[in-house]
Amino acid sequence: MQVTVENVSELGRRMTVTVEDANIEQAVQERLKSIRPNVKMAGFRPGKVPMNMVAKTHGPSARREVIDSLVQESMREAFTQEGVNPASPPHIDSMDEKGSNFIYTLNYEVFPEVESVKLDDITLEKTVAEVTDEDVDRMLETLREQRMSWEPLKRGAKEGDGITIDFVGTIDGEEFQGGKGQDVLLELGEGRMLPEFEEQLIGKKADQEVEVTLTFPEDYRAEHLQGKEAKFAVTVKQVAKKKLPKLDKEFAELCGVEDGIAALKKEVRANMERELKSALKTLNKRKAMDSLAKNNEIALPSAPVEREAQYLVEQAKNNLRNQGVNVEGLPFNPDNFKENAEKRVKLSLLIGKIISDNEIRPEEDRVKEAIDAIAASYEDPEEVVTFYMNNQERLSEIQMTVVEDMVVEWIYDHVKVEESTSTFSDVVNAVSN
């Protein structure tokens, strides 16, 4: 077999493969003989159809199968011989038979050769933060808010109170879609309803009926209501104020901690420190990867970018499905994801180069530490550890995460680092957004 390869672009290649003594006709005849016993034709017993008739009816398909098998086998051999790892599925351009030889050409893309990873003269910001007593106190307040109740009031409603209402909205005397509600609890000043609506409820008491009039903004989200005046018949069913639980032993037990407020604070701090550690790792990894991609220009093959863009499309659809959104019929253009896809493909190549050049391997202690960190948030940590250690797919995911963490550390070791102090809430919000 003879193989020649020519460059048609920076990453595009054309390969010509010559299979000598291909014996296609002989292979076709053998294929026809093999299928003859199963060929059925009117007037002949099974297996007794004349070969010339078998060739007439099944010859073209037999020939296609023989050529397809020949191409696939010789292509694998040619790629192995030339040390080629195609970045895109090969496209057959031409096929020709010359005597006993079979010649075909194919086009494909290759991955670029990353000569080196450039990190010269880079200054990389590294965010640091710690959990403070004030952070813990704010988290305890959040826990209280999550477990608060409403205490009914006889006085009129004011900002910050909870007011429970029934309402029916009309425009020109006709009810409109979305203008009706029952047992709706509003926290006045929270902005759940239009300010003009909430303002007219200030001072109102339980069992009071009131007419609220307002004009919808010109840019209101519901187009059929934009700029229109509406009247709402509102019945106030209850006015109440927030009642937060006391920070005592009973509250700690309500949060699942048996040993009082001091123990609750300790557990809250430990959880926050774990969350902050994870968020800092994610945030600083993001900065390192952004810098790595920005400072290294690489020509990228189109096929992997297209595959990655399609993957991001499916990921976006799944995220919306998980939020209860019906994605059928929604426009998803892979071109809108292309920039992010290009970045991900580029980073994959750069990370691979760093791993290869520096022989980075997942350290067992760090893999175990990563699994322990995941298991710590479960009721039975040992069971989780056993699950990961005995599931090769899950274990491989953890190992790859550890390797990526080691790559990030390698990047920070090879650039100038400037530390930037932040807060717990800013770091967590930056990662979640």
CATH code that applies to domain 2-109: 3.30.70.1050
* 377-418 residue pLDDT tens: 788 999 999 999 999 999 999 999 999 999 999 999 999 999
For 356, the token pair is 């290869």
CA distance 251 to 254: 5
Instruction: Give the count of beta carbons closer than 10 Å to the beta carbon of residue 310.
Output: 14
User: How far apart, in whole angstroms, are the C-alpha atoms of residue 28 and residue 22?
Assistant: 11
Separation of alpha carbons 213 and 209, rounded Å: 13
Torsion of CA 239, 241, 242, 247, to 10 degrees: -140
The pairing of beta strand 12-19 with beta strand 2-7: antiparallel
Exposure of 42 by Cβ count < 10 A (0-12 exposed, 13-18 middle, 19+ buried)?
A: exposed
Lowest mean pLDDT among 54-63, 199-208, 237-246: 54-63
Domain residue ranges of the chain, discontinuous segments joined by +:
2-109, 123-133+259-432, 149-243
Task: Among 3.40.250.10, 1.10.3120.10, 3.40.50.800, 3.20.20.70, name the CATH number for the domain at 123-133+259-432.
Answer: 1.10.3120.10
Q: Can you say how many angstroms the Cα of residue 277 is from the centroid of all Cα atoms in its chain?
A: 22
Strand partners, 241: 151
Give the list of residues 6+ apart from residue 15 with CB closer than 8 angstroms, or none.
3, 4, 5, 78, 82, 84, 90, 105, 106, 107, 108
Residue 86 is classified by DSSP as B
Q: How would you classify the pairing of strands 229-243 and 149-153?
A: antiparallel
Using alpha carbons, list the distances in angstroms from residue 50 to 29, 36, 190, 192, 342: 13, 9, 87, 83, 58
Task: Give the whole-angstrom CA distance, residue 152 versus residue 154.
Answer: 7
| Res 341: pLDDT | 95
Topology, domain 149-243: Chitinase A; domain 3 (3.10.50)
pLDDT digits (tens, 9 = 90+) for 215-240: 999 999 888 899 999 999 999 999 99
pLDDT-based confidence at residue 159 (cuts at 50, 70, 90): very high
Of the two residues 22 and 77, the one the predictor is more confident about is 77
Nearest of 104, 130, 97, 77 to residue 27 by alpha carbon: 97
Q: What is the pLDDT of residues 118-153, one digit of tens each?
A: 888 889 999 999 999 999 999 999 999 999 999 999
Task: Give the whole-angstrom CA distance, residue 294 versus residue 234.
Answer: 57
Report, as an integer, the average pLDDT of 332-341: 92
